[in-house]
Structures are given as structure tokens and as C-alpha cells.
Amino acid sequence: MVKIKTSNLNVWFDWEIALKNITLDVSENEILGIIGPSNSGKTTLLRTLNRLNELYPGSRVEGKAELDGKDIFTEVDILSLRKRVGIVFALPLPLPLSIFDNIAYGPRLHGIKKNNSLSEIVEKSLKDAALWDEVKDRLQESAFKLSGGQQQRLCIARTLAVEPEVVLYDEPCSGLDPISTLKIEEAMKKLKSNYTQILVTNNVKQSARVSDRTAFFLMGELIEVGITAEIYTAPKDKRTDDYISGRFG
């Protein structure tokens, strides 16, 4: 079943175009990897899908993007859209709160007040993000005391805590060591059964490891998208081939 669908999606920042005519489907429970050099519009696509771009005056969208067949710009309330489509940012961004309160921040926004329900959510989210065993005895400590890799898993847990349907990852491992990266990738694979996931990555191999399909973006255009194995072994476009094999720019 198609979860997210964009058709002829264009995004501008002031007078500069950042995404050109993107038409793309993401199926339920799929992991879609998006690769491409910097400035190719990968992050912009993610930030359009949960309408975070709109925080910047000067951003403009044309075309359609749908979640479960409903237009996200007109038919879905922006606050519930952001709850349903969560995002994990490139840098670990814990809020200046305790580990517990970081994860409880989202559920509290949506009206969950009882301590035992919050505790349950915190535990479940941390387990899903593969962080529970490392932090279960120090939930009241500041989130800044965690290592970078732990902080990023904390951010994943925080995103999961509001029970999204889609999780967007914006280069989630760009500042992390290989072991932390591995832990995050394993968490993503486990989350497949419940979530639709889109992974933007600068690391070509990462998409090969975790994604079902891979899309290649260049200069704001979607060059091609297909089953990951096919993209990596027999890309249709020469530019994809060049990028994957490292012959690019």
C-alpha cells in the first residue's frame, strides 16, 4: 500500500528552486534510501513531507504530496501531520532536559499526563531505539551526558514516542562512529514492521545495507529510483553509476 506519494512536487526558497518535479511513492513498512551529493534536495524533501520548511519565510511549494491519499498541505492538520510524520535530524539534538523528559516531551504535548503511562512510553521507545539497556538506570540524568551515538538513539526514541506512522531520517549517522551507526541501522530494520521509513544518507553504503529501494537525487531532481540491489548493480542512468562508484565531481 502506498503511504506517501508526491506528484510534480516543486519547492522554492525565495527564488531558488530546491526540488524539481519530484514524483515518488513510498510504500507502507518500506525503508526508502535517498542518496545524492550535498545540495541535491534530499533534506528539503524530508522537511517538506512534515512541513518543517514552512518555518522559514520564503519557502514555497507547488504540486502535491499525500499521506494515505490525503493532501498534506490542504487535507491534513499541520500539527497532526508532524506527529504522524516524525523526523530525526542530522545532528543529535537532545533538548536541555533529562533523558526521561526528552522522550516524554512529545507525549506530554499530546495530552498524556499520567506518570505510569509516560514511563511505559519512555521504556518502549527506548527499547525500540536500542538504547534502553544503556540508560535504564539513569533516566533522570541530563541528556547531554550521553555520548553522540546514544544521543542520536535518544532522538530516535523521542520521535517514536509520539507514535508516528512515518519516520524520516536526515543523515542520522553523519557524526557517529561505525558501532553507533550499526546500532541505529539495526534499530531501523527492527522498526520496519511498524513504520514507513525514509533514510537520507551521504553514505552510499548505508543505503545499500538498510533500504529496500533507493532513490538518487541530483541538483534537486530525482534521477532514478528502484530496488536497492538493482540500483547498485545495474543503474539505468550514467550519473547514478558515477555517483555510486565514486567517480563523481
Residue of 35, 31, 24 whose CA lies nearest to 66? 24
Residues 6+ apart with CB under 8 A from 238: none
> Under the criterion CB under 8 A, does residue 86 sit at the interface with other proteins?
yes
Out of 14, 74, 96, 140, which residue is the one contacting other proteins (CB under 8 A)? 96
Question: Is 81 within 8 Å of 51 (Cβ atoms)?
Answer: yes
User: Of residues 160-199, which lie at the interface with other proteins (CB under 8 A)?
Assistant: 162
> Under the criterion CB under 8 A, does residue 105 sit at the interface with other proteins?
yes
Out of 39, 62, 69, 79, which residue is the one contacting other proteins (CB under 8 A)? 79
With CB under 8 A as the contact rule, which of the stretches 14-22, 90-98, 120-128, 206-214 interacts with other proteins? 90-98
> Under the criterion CB under 8 A, does residue 249 sit at the interface with other proteins?
no
Any idea which residue has 541535491 for its cell? 40
* Least Å from the CB of residue 216 to other proteins: 26
Question: Is 168 within 8 Å of 87 (Cβ atoms)?
Answer: yes
Residue window 19-58: x/- pattern of binding to other proteins, with contact defined by CB under 8 A: -------------------------------x-x--x-x-
> Under the criterion CB under 8 A, does residue 12 sit at the interface with other proteins?
no
d(CA 50, CA 72): 8
Out of 80, 119, 147, 245, which residue is the one contacting other proteins (CB under 8 A)? 80
Q: Write down how long the chain is.
A: 249
**DSSP labels for 48-85?**
HHTT-GGGSTTEEEEEEEEETTEETTTTS-HHHHHHHE
> Under the criterion CB under 8 A, does residue 73 sit at the interface with other proteins?
no
CA distances from 181 to 74, 148, 150, 231, 232 (A): 37, 11, 10, 22, 21
Any idea which residue has 550514467 for its cell? 238
- Point out which residues bind other proteins (CB under 8 A): 50, 52, 55, 57, 79-80, 82-83, 86-87, 89, 91, 93, 95-96, 105-106, 109-110, 142, 144, 155, 158-159, 162
